Structure 1
Amino acid sequence: MAASPSSAATERRGIPGAQFVEDVQTYLTQSGLDVSSALAFLQERLQQYKFVEMKLLAQQRDLQAKIPDIEKCLEIVATLEAKKNAGEALIADFEVSEGIYSRARVEDNDSVCLWLGANVMLEYSCEEATDLLQKNLQNAKASLEVLLTDLQFLRDQVTITQVTIARVYNWDVHQRRIRSTASASTDP
């Protein structure tokens, strides 16, 4: 993102903070910008915020889909261990291909295979799989929490930037009216 023409506001994880402009004249003077340049800068910053927001929302959707999958895997591993400890076989239907299922009988399972991503599957003992899945679940929930905080910060910056754009625009309109009134009163 482009650097702010004035003193930087707070920043969160690489997202620059928006500066609330209380006095437009002082802001324009300190930044060395005219009204159109200031509005162009603010509009660009707003678009950058919107772009980052789209990326964060996509990450949020991914994490929100991932968490239930991890929880489901934990339940399955727990069921496998419970059946093994009870000396029972697990009867499960699994998808072979889209819409095609097969039934399996799982006995004496000492290990499970987990998809790790990028077409990689590894075999773990049930205990190791449970530990790994719990760690992944904790990490996913922590990441989601940070992401939600980032999104709230970003929404605040969007609001501040929109308010600043409105303030600069309204200030410019007011200044034009003053100049127009002044020139009309000096004309004979």
Structure 2
Amino acid sequence: MASSSSSSSSAAAVTERRGIPAAAFVEDVQTYLTQSGLDANSSLAFLQERLQQYKLVEMKLLAQQRDLQAKIPDIEKCLDVVATLQAKKGTGEPLIADFEVSEGIYSRASIEDADSVCLWLGANVMLEYSCEEASALLQKNLENAKASLEVLVADLQFLRDQVTITQVTIARVYNWDVHQRRIRQVVAAKDS
């Protein structure tokens, strides 16, 4: 039991990460079942439910990760456009750009000495910014998106660890239950 308490103290150090509960590694199934007050079948049902919850959270996090991974290149493109506009300013040379008017429909524009740009903020809102303000805002948004992606990747790794621990626990409880049934059969056969 001493080894069990030392492993549970390391598991107790991290009880959750951003709302995702940590799975406790079960070293001794008998002790786990006794402490939880569950039989093997109830424990397996609980663990399967927890595993499904982890899978749902994983799907949500993966969708957020895909969104961020798509957003980051868009922000970087916008930063490049603003930088190009700033570089062309004062040179007398217009910037020739093709832009999408509608899906699959493009138009060509000649942009001369732009002092400001309009940025979509979301929810059908567009605001005009000076090129310097736009560049600063886009840089801040890029840093935030990259930081959010880092946190999301760490959350996904934590979640995958919890899935693995839960799957191992399910296997251990199941194997323990099968072993206990065999012992009872052997004892019953000897008594007969």
Category of TM-score, reference length = shorter chain: over 0.9
Instruction: Determine the structure 1 residue equivalent to 2:130.
Output: 125
1:82 is aligned to 2:67: no
Instruction: Determine the structure 1 residue equivalent to 2:57.
Output: 52
Residue 170 (structure 1) shift: 0.2
Q: Deviations for 1:47-80, whole angstroms, at most 9, x for unmatched residues?
A: 0000000000000000000000000000000001
Indicate if the aligned counterparts of 2:85 and 2:113 stay in contact, CA closer than 8 A. Answer: no
Instruction: Determine the structure 1 residue equivalent to 2:77.
Output: 72
Matches within 5 A, 1:11-30: 11-30=16-35
TM-score (norm 2): 0.92
Q: Deviations for 1:121-175, whole angstroms, at most 9, x for unmatched residues?
A: 0000000000000000000000000000000000000000000000000000000
Cα distance in 2 for partners of 1:174, 1:26 equals 15
Q: 5+ residue gaps in structure 1?
A: 1-5
Residue 35 (structure 1) shift: 0.8
Residue 185 (structure 1) shift: 1.1
Aligned residues: 182
Instruction: Determine the structure 2 residue equivalent to 1:3.
Output: none
Indicate if the aligned counterparts of 2:90 and 2:113 stay in contact, CA closer than 8 A. Answer: no
Cα distance in 1 for partners of 2:156, 2:122 equals 26
Instruction: Determine the structure 1 residue equivalent to 2:186.
Output: 181
Residue 94 (structure 1) shift: 1.4
1:135 is aligned to 2:140: yes
Instruction: Determine the structure 2 residue equivalent to 1:151.
Output: 156
The alignment partner of 2:26 has SS state of: coil
TM-score (norm 1): 0.93
Q: Structure 2: which amino acid aligns with 1:109?
A: A
Residue 92 (structure 1) shift: 1.0
Cα distance in 1 for partners of 2:104, 2:65 equals 29
Q: Deviations for 1:25-59, whole angstroms, at most 9, x for unmatched residues?
A: 00010010111110111000000000000000000
* C-alpha RMSD over aligned residues: 1.4
Instruction: Determine the structure 1 residue equivalent to 2:4.
Output: none
